[in-house]
Structure 1
Amino acid sequence: MKIIALVTSILRPVRFLIVAFTCALLLLSNAVPAFAIDSYQSDPKEATTQLLDIQRKTDEVERSAPPGLDKVQKESNKGLNEVQGDADIDQMKRPDNTQGAESVEGKIENFLEKVTGKK
Structure 2
Amino acid sequence: MKIIASVLSIFRPVRFLVVAFTCALILLSNTFPAFAIDSYQSDTTEGTTQLLDIQRKTDEAAKEPPAGLRKVQKESNEGLNEVQGAADIDKQKRPENSQGSTSVEENVKNFLGKVTGN
Equivalent runs, 1:29-108 vs 2, <5 Å: 29-108=29-108
TM-score w.r.t. length of structure 2 = 0.75
In 2, are the aligned partners of 1:58 and 1:83 still within 8 Å (CA)? no
State the secondary structure of the residue aligned to 1:91. Answer: coil
Residue 21 of structure 1: how far off its partner (Å): 3.2
Query: Structure 2: how far apart are the matches of 1:73 and 1:43?
Result: 33
> How far is 1:109 from its partner?
4.5
Q: CA RMSD in A?
A: 2.6
Which runs of 5 or more residues in structure 2 are unaligned?
Answer: none
User: Take 1:14 and 1:107, find their aligned partners in 2: how far apart are those partners?
Assistant: 33
SS in structure 2 of the partner of residue 86 of structure 1: coil
Change beyond 3 A, Cα 1:69–1:44: same
Task: Give the partner amino acid of 2:83.
Answer: V
Aligned to 2:9: 9
Give the equivalent residue in structure 2 for 1:26.
26
The structural deviation recorded for 1:96 is 1.4
Residues of 1 paired with 2:21 and 2:112: CA distance? 31
How many residue pairs were aligned? Answer: 117
Preserved contact between residue 75 and residue 82 of structure 1 (Cα < 8 Å): yes
Checking the alignment, whether the CA contact within 8 Å between 1:75 and 1:85 is kept in structure 2 is yes
Unaligned runs of 5+ residues in structure 1 are none
Aligned in 2, Cα 1:65/1:95: closer, same or farther, shift over 3 Å? same
How far off is 1:87 after superposition?
A: 0.6
TM-score where L is the length of structure 1? 0.75
